[in-house]
């Protein structure tokens, strides 16, 4: 029986290493997903900001149509400005 106990201990250590590697891999994946989400959010906000700046520039040229004014208000809400 003592030999069986030694095997169980080695098997337990091996499983612990596997669990630790899985946890590290999962943490790395979560970080990659968060980074991708941050990049997409930044790009989306930059696009909204550019559109808002173009619409503001257009108001200097003359009056905007009603739908453009609604879009300016929507962009301000999205960007928190």
pLDDT tens, position by position, 60-74: 888 888 888 899 999
Q: Picking from 33-37, 42-46, 64-68, which range would have the lowest pLDDT averaged per residue? A: 64-68
Region class of 63: left (phi > 0), else alpha (psi between -120 and 50), else beta = beta
Mean pLDDT calculated for residue range 14-20: 94
Per the model's pLDDT, the better-predicted residue between 32 and 1 turns out to be 32
User: What's the domain range around 62?
Assistant: 2-79
Give me 23's structure tokens.
Answer: 């946890």
Q: How many domains does the chain have?
A: 1
Mean pLDDT calculated for residue range 46-68: 89
Reported pTM: 0.66
What length is written for the chain? Answer: 81
Chain-centroid distance, C-alpha 6: 46
């Amino acid at each position: 029986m003592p030999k069986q106990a030694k095997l169980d201990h080695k098997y337990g250590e091996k499983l612990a290493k596997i669990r630790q590697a899985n946890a590290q891999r999962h943490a790395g994946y979560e970080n990659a997903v968060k980074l991708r989400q941050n990049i997409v959010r930044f790009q989306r906000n930059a696009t909204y900001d550019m559109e808002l700046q173009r619409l503001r520039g257009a108001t200097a040229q003359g009056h905007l149509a009603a739908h453009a004014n609604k879009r300016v208000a929507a962009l301000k809400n999205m960007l928190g400005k």
